[in-house]
Amino acid sequence: MAIHTLSQLFAQASPTFKDMLRDSENSALWNAQTITKEGREPELRKLRSLYAKLKDVHDQSMFADDECMHRIAVLVAAQVFSRTDAPTENDTLIEHVGETAVSLLRQEVFFGFPAINWDVPLSLEDGVALRNYLERKRHFLLYAPAILELWCDRFVDMWIALFKHLPDRMFKAKALNRGAFELSTPLVDILDDPALAVESLLGTFAHDDLEQHSLFEPLLAIVNDNLFEASGIAFENRATSRRPLLLPSKSREPAHQLPEIYLSGTPFLKLFEAELSVDVPDETRFEHAHVVAGTGHGKTQLFQYLIAKDLKQVSAGRASIVVIDSQGDLIDNISHLDVFGPDGGMHDRIVHIDPTDVAYPVALNMFDLNTEAPTPLEQEKLLNGVLELYDYIFGSLLGAELTQKQGVVFRYVARLLLMIPGANIQHLRRLMEDDGLEQFAEYIPKLDSPTARAFFETEFNSREFDATKKQVRRRLWGILENKTFEHMFSYPHTKLRLSEEMNAGKVILINTSKDLLKQNGTEIFGRFFVALITQAALERASIPKAQRMPTHVYIDEANDYFQGGDQNLPVILEQARKYRISMTLAHQYLDQLDGKLKSSFAANTSTKIIGGVSDKDARAFANDMRTSPDTITAMRKFDDHAEFAISVKNVTGGTMRLRVPFGYMERMARMSDADFAQLRSAQRMRYCVPVDEVRSALSKSVGANEMSGADNSGHAGDPFADPYE
Using the predicted structure, report yes or no on whether residue 43 has a pLDDT greater than 90.
Answer: no
Share of the chain above pLDDT 70, in %: 87
For residues 112-137, one letter each, b for 16 or more C-beta atoms within 10 angstroms of the residue's C-beta and e for the rest, the string is ebeeeeeeeebeeeebbebbeebbbb
Using the predicted structure, report yes or no on whether residue 39 has a pLDDT greater than 50.
Answer: yes
Share of the chain above pLDDT 90, in %: 50
Q: Tell me how crowded residue 625 is: count the other CB atoms within 10 A of its CB.
A: 24
Residue 432 to residue 358: CA distance in whole angstroms: 28
Q: How confident is the model at residue 725 (pLDDT cuts 50, 70, 90)?
A: very low
Average confidence (pLDDT) over 626-646: 94
The whole-number pLDDT of residue 724 equals 28
Query: What's the full length of the chain, in residues?
Result: 725
Phi and psi of 648, rounded to 5°? Answer: -125, 120
Residue 282 to residue 295: CA distance in whole angstroms: 29
Highest mean pLDDT, choosing among 103-117, 302-316, 706-720: 302-316
Using the predicted structure, report yes or no on whether residue 174 has a pLDDT greater than 70.
Answer: no
Average confidence (pLDDT) over 443-449: 93
Alpha helices in 275-345, H assignment, sequence order: 282-285, 299-315, 329-335
Average confidence (pLDDT) over 445-452: 93
Average confidence (pLDDT) over 574-595: 94
Using the predicted structure, report yes or no on whether residue 254 has a pLDDT greater than 60.
Answer: yes
Tens digit of each residue's pLDDT (9 = 90 or more) over 476-497: 898 888 899 999 998 888 999 9
Using the predicted structure, report yes or no on whether residue 716 has a pLDDT greater than 60.
Answer: no
Amino acid identity, position 14 = S
- C-alpha pair distances (Å), 693 with each of 390, 550, 577, 706: 27, 36, 39, 16
Q: What is the DSSP letter of 276?
A: E
Q: Give yes or no for a contact between 155 and 268, defined as CB atoms under 8 angstroms apart.
A: no
Average confidence (pLDDT) over 244-272: 92
Residues 6 or more apart whose CB falls under 8 angstroms from that of 405 comprise 464, 465, 468
Three state DSSP letters for 488-504? HHCCCCCCCCHHHHHHC
* Range name among 14-18, 175-179, 403-407, 720-724 with the lowest pLDDT average: 720-724
Tens digit of each residue's pLDDT (9 = 90 or more) over 259-305: 999 999 999 998 888 887 788 889 999 999 999 999 999 999 999 99
Tens digit of each residue's pLDDT (9 = 90 or more) over 384-405: 777 777 777 777 666 666 788 8
Distance of CA 219 to the CA centre of its chain: 36
Average confidence (pLDDT) over 118-122: 83
Q: How confident is the model at residue 541 (pLDDT cuts 50, 70, 90)?
A: confident
With CA atoms as reference, report the closest residue to 349 among 357, 361, 337.
Answer: 337
Q: What is the DSSP letter of 234?
A: -
Q: What is the DSSP letter of 670?
A: B
* Range name among 13-22, 612-621, 624-633, 645-654 with the lowest pLDDT average: 13-22
The whole-number pLDDT of residue 710 equals 38
Q: How confident is the model at residue 180 (pLDDT cuts 50, 70, 90)?
A: low
Looking only at the bridges linking them, the beta strands covering 289-293 and 581-587 are parallel
Q: How confident is the model at residue 566 (pLDDT cuts 50, 70, 90)?
A: low
The whole-number pLDDT of residue 539 equals 87
Highest mean pLDDT, choosing among 109-123, 228-242, 386-400: 228-242
* Range name among 97-106, 251-260, 386-395 with the lowest pLDDT average: 386-395
The whole-number pLDDT of residue 515 equals 92
Which residues lie across from 278 on neighbouring strands? Answer: 183
Rounded to the nearest integer, the mean pLDDT of the chain is 85
Residue 584 to residue 576: CA distance in whole angstroms: 12
Residue 511 to residue 355: CA distance in whole angstroms: 7
What's the first-to-final CA gap in the chain, in angstroms? 76
The whole-number pLDDT of residue 720 equals 27
Looking only at the bridges linking them, the beta strands covering 289-293 and 607-611 are parallel
Using the predicted structure, report yes or no on whether residue 697 has a pLDDT greater than 80.
Answer: yes
607: three-class secondary structure by DSSP: strand
Domain ranges of the chain: 1-163, 182-280, 282-362+503-689, 364-494
With CA atoms as reference, report the closest residue to 320 among 582, 535, 503.
Answer: 503
Half-sphere exposure of 330 (CA within 13 A, CB side): 27
The whole-number pLDDT of residue 1 equals 41
Q: Does domain 282-362+503-689 have CATH number 3.20.20.70?
A: no
